[in-house]
Structure 1
Amino acid sequence: MNNCLRFMIRWFSYPVIFGGTAGWMIWQLSEGLPYWPSTALIAVVGIILVAMLERLQPFRQSWLADHHDTLTDLLHLIVNLSVIQFTAAVLARLGDWVPDAARTFPTDLPLWCQLLIVAMVLDLSLYGMHRLSHYVPWLWHLHEPHHSAERLYWMNGERRHPLHAAIMAGPGLLVLFAMGTPSSLVATWFGILTVHLAFQHSNLDYSLGWMRNVISVAETHRWHHKREFEDAQVNFGEFLLLWDHLFRTFYAGTDKLGDAQVGLQERDSPTAYRAQLAAPFKRMSQARRTRNTPSARS
């Protein structure tokens, strides 16, 4: 591959693909077009483009190979994207029950400003719950499958226990629902975030330059997946790194992670999809039994 193409992929893949799909979704929103199924289809187009570029210009060549995870991650992707759309549909129905007098969401503002409010509320919710998930044991057990990946690539962004995904977004969604937020705004932001997460976890050698300190792209997020758990308590932001700067969890590593530097120190995490769904509850049960043993109580 020639240097010109490498340069273009490195510096323009995120602005063109993420910016293009986000702009497409926002245009659709402004035209009042239904978000289902077009928002999901636009997101799929963006994700596929990220997957294709990984093959052309990988960050780590070894991460292109299957690690007994492709089928599992595909199931995570399908289930979690479906959950996102289902959540938006439920929010639309529940939003109809909010009395007009109780609606406080500023729908008179420009559309871009409304979408920014939705993004900020959800992003803060995701940051807060993400950080808590690294400190509260039962939340960590639900979050653990996401960190068990032995490589980072385009599907890792949706490698989440569906229950944990709901918990992460829950506080923000409740706030937005209580404000009477139009469901189309929430669905559009989730679609935009889906494409971003594909980039954030991708095995693509791309860069945002100084913007890597503002937007949580792969350059900064890879440090959050570092195998040494004590070093991975950084860069929790899902989209913006504003909260990491504000709460002093931001880290800007300049070197590159090695092939085997992501994942968990414990190598006994299951790789099958159903096993990953069941594992958190088994670990919680084991922890509870350990606490209740006579030796633990003495």
Structure 2
Amino acid sequence: MNWPHLLLLAALPPFVVACGRAGLSDANMLTLGTLLSLAWLMWAERRWPARPDWTPGRSELLRDGAFLGLNAATDALGGLLVAALALHLRALWPATAAPMAGVAPWFAWPLAVALGELGPYALHRWAHADGWGWRVHALHHAPERVNASNNIATHPINVLWNQLSRVLPWLLLGFDAHVIAWAALFIQVQSFAVHANIAGALGPLNRLIGTAELHRWHHSIHPAEALNYGTAIPLWDQLLGTWRSPGSTGPARVGVAGVPGGAAWRVWRALLLAPFCARCNRAQRSTPRRA
């Protein structure tokens, strides 16, 4: 049983309550919750690794730390852009067209989570179909190990499109700010948990929440295995035919064919530039979809 993942999810409600009583803003609650969750999962990975050979080395942690800084700045910029776009659209949007305004939080939160996963699910599935979307998304699949820290190794464009497709519908539909923060925290925590290299299974819970057992298969180098596009929950995979049972073992190999997944700066620079630079893309063999 993957107890670290379950304990983390169980800790979220009391954490949110404690932050509210301490007077923390939603933004600070989200930041603190994300960092504490990442620290907990990285500690658990060291203590109970599913695959010891997937434990990140110093150079990989430095790479992931650089992406943490880059994407934190991207996330902050994206928040400003989404807010500005939402204000512009709401000026054209009748006040009565905000159906979630005033809805009880206990009912609104699961709807926010489900809706918040739909846009990123669709974009994620599109990005795996080769073309420009894959040139953006390939960076996240390049590591040859799957662990909590390299969840952060994601192209800034990928961060922006996820944020836009998730947060803009929340704002336009009138979800309460606290509900948005709680849903965002759950989705963010889940994104780290499903990448965490922690031993143990969650069994029937694979059909209710995203788990490492499901997501490791998504990082397989073989297309037939690389499904399960959802992260926080498998709802849209189940409804749209892309959910696959995790089985008893993980994929034999993860990564991207033709792209070395180590921490060499030249590789990551090329992957960062690939969406904009045809020459860089050719240098990475057009970041091929899979072997």
Q: Choose which of 240, 253, 256 in structure 1 pairs with 2:246.
A: 253
Match of 2:11 in 1: 20
Match of 2:49 in 1: 58
Work out whether 1:157 is the aligned partner of 2:117.
no
Match of 1:282 in 2: 277
Q: Choose which of 58, 70, 94 in structure 2 pairs with 1:79.
A: 70
Deviations 1:183-224 (A, max 9, x none): 443333222222211110011113222111221210011110
Q: Choose which of 120, 130, 144 in structure 1 pairs with 2:114.
A: 120
CA change 1:224–1:104 in 2 (3 A) is same
Say if 2:195 and 2:216, in contact at 8 Å, map to a contact too: yes
Deviations 1:129-159 (A, max 9, x none): 1001111510000000111111011112222
TM superposition shift of 1:95: 5.5
TM superposition shift of 1:285: 7.2
Which secondary structure state, in structure 2, belongs to the residue aligned with residue 231 of structure 1? coil
Which secondary structure state, in structure 1, belongs to the residue aligned with residue 276 of structure 2? helix
Distance 1:101 1:239 in 2: 30
TM-score for both structures, normalised by structure 2: 0.82
Work out whether 1:263 is the aligned partner of 2:255.
yes
TM-score for both structures, normalised by structure 1: 0.80
After alignment, is 19-28 or 153-162 more displaced?
A: 19-28
Deviations 1:52-109 (A, max 9, x none): 0111110001111428422221222233244435544655566566457255142322
Say if 1:142 and 1:164, in contact at 8 Å, map to a contact too: yes
Structure 2 gaps of 5+ residues are 286-291
Q: Which has the larger radius of gyration?
A: 1
CA change 1:119–1:126 in 2 (3 A) is same
After alignment, is 62-71 or 39-48 more displaced?
A: 62-71
Which secondary structure state, in structure 2, belongs to the residue aligned with residue 36 of structure 1? helix
Which secondary structure state, in structure 2, belongs to the residue aligned with residue 52 of structure 1? helix
Deviations 1:6-46 (A, max 9, x none): xxxx3432221122135423664699741132321122111
Match of 1:242 in 2: 235
Distance 2:119 2:17 in 1: 22
Q: Give the length in aligned residue pairs.
A: 277
Match of 1:231 in 2: 224
Say if 2:86 and 2:168, in contact at 8 Å, map to a contact too: no
Distance 1:15 1:47 in 2: 14
TM superposition shift of 1:121: 1.4
The residue type equivalent to 2:37 in the other structure is G
Identity level (%) = 23
